[in-house]
Amino acid sequence: MLSEGRKKNRVTLLDVARHASVSRATASLVIRKSPLVSTETRAKVEAVMQELGYVYNMGAARLRADRSLTIGVVIPNLVNPFFTELLAGIDRIIDAAGMVVILVNSGDLVARQETLLTRMREHGVDGIILCPAAETEMSLVEKMVEWDLPLVQVLRRVTDDCDYAGVDYAFGMRQAVDHLAELGHRDIAFALHGPIHSAYQERIDGFRDAMEARGLDPENVIRVPHQIAAIAEAAGLFTEGSRRSSAVVCFNDVVALGLSAGLYDLGISIGRDFSLVGFDDVADAEAMRPRLTSVATFPEAIGEGAAKLLLDRLAQPDLAPRKLVNAPQLHIRQSSAIWRGSSLGRRQESG
């Protein structure tokens, strides 16, 4: 009923053309702001479009012109604030280019990711920004190249034969470790969690290299649970047992927030008895008390970078693959402090 109505009284380009006494082709040129039409004709046609309430039909245009002004964004997780900020950055650039974002959530599952990518392809997106799910095969990306579907990897990468926008995690880790080492800490742990992917690996490697460079133990790496409530319960891993730490570098701010809660529960004062450094510096970091020292990775800027890479590639498909690697920046606040000796009963080591 309604849809019949919608269909019936839809005003098309042909209607516009007739009312303006020009051809469909001319009307089309007006829409596309071609310089070919004369100013008077343009004005006339535009007036008629206004008058009739003409609505451009992207779908029809897309079919003929093989372009949809639509891009697909695949992220593994919607509720992590990091991805949200990334998305905000992507949206800003894509929107400014007059395009829209089709958003899907892979849940970090490769099978699901594959389904979703096929669906985007069916929908005719012009390109895709993908944060590959953990364990994504290189062949996936190769397949997409074969499809001629412009692709930008973001935050994680599975191949170098394709654009990538991400973070220099190693540099971030070095800043975190150096900061703690300069405060006098020697027993520094790395707390990580989550699925394993390139960004995960780069952070571990970065931590180990930085520790080694300082002559500290690079193997003090501890996995914590994924759920934030469970992370809090795991705080004891760092403060009890034979291997106690006086400082922890966290995989991201979510881990930092969880450990912060857990240390609070254990009665340990962060920024006095224990130092904590987060990673990513999402908005909440500054709202924590004590304020969280964190390595800022500027997710919004990365999103913008990824979107720009994609727009460039759409304009010039033959460009060589490019990398955009952002330098992170340590923000020192209250959660990290000078080492005050074995206030936790930490065992003393020689050297």
Partner DNA sequence: GCGACGATTTAGATCGATCTAAATCAGTTG
Partner DNA sequence: CAACTGATTTAGATCGATCTAAATCGTCGC
| Residues near its own copies, by CB under 8 A | 1-3, 5-7, 55-60, 62-63, 66, 68-70, 78-79, 81, 84-85, 87-88, 91, 95, 100-105, 118-124, 147-148, 228-229, 232, 257-258, 260-261, 264-265, 283-284, 286-289, 317-318
Q: What 3-state class would DSSP assign to 151?
A: strand
Q: What six digits make up the tokens of 31? A: 């829409």
37 contacts which partner out of DNA, its own copies, none, CB within 5 to 8 A by kind?
A: DNA
Residues 58, 63, 67, 69: what is their CA dihedral angle, to the nearest 10 degrees?
20
How far apart are CB 257 and its own copies at their closest, in Å? 5
63: CB partners within 8 A, 6+ apart: none
Quick check: 25 binds DNA (CB under 7 A)? Answer: yes
Asked whether 26 and 32 are in contact (CB, 8 A), the reply is: no
- Give CA–CA dist 143/150, Å, rounded: 11
Complex with its own copies: residue 194 or 206, whichever CB lies closer: 194
- Give CA–CA dist 72/151, Å, rounded: 9
Complex with its own copies: residue 62 or 346, whichever CB lies closer: 62
Q: What 3-state class would DSSP assign to 153?
A: strand
Quick check: 60 binds DNA (CB under 7 A)? Answer: yes
Phi, psi torsion values for 177, nearest 5 degrees? -65, -45
320: CB partners within 8 A, 6+ apart: none
Quick check: 13 binds DNA (CB under 7 A)? Answer: yes
How far apart are CB 258 and its own copies at their closest, in Å? 6
How far apart are CB 172 and DNA at their closest, in Å? 45
Quick check: 4 binds DNA (CB under 7 A)? Answer: no
Quick check: 175 binds DNA (CB under 7 A)? Answer: no
Quick check: 38 binds DNA (CB under 7 A)? Answer: yes
Angle of helix 138-146 versus helix 110-123 axis, rounded to 10: 10
How far apart are CB 116 and DNA at their closest, in Å? 19
Question: Tokens 């040129």 — which residue?
Answer: 29
Complex with its own copies: residue 99 or 210, whichever CB lies closer: 99
Complex with its own copies: residue 229 or 338, whichever CB lies closer: 229
125: CB partners within 8 A, 6+ apart: 68, 70, 71, 72, 102, 149
Question: Which residues contribute to the site for DNA (CB under 7 A)?
Answer: 7, 10, 12-14, 21-26, 28-29, 31-32, 35-38, 40-41, 54-57, 60-61, 63-66
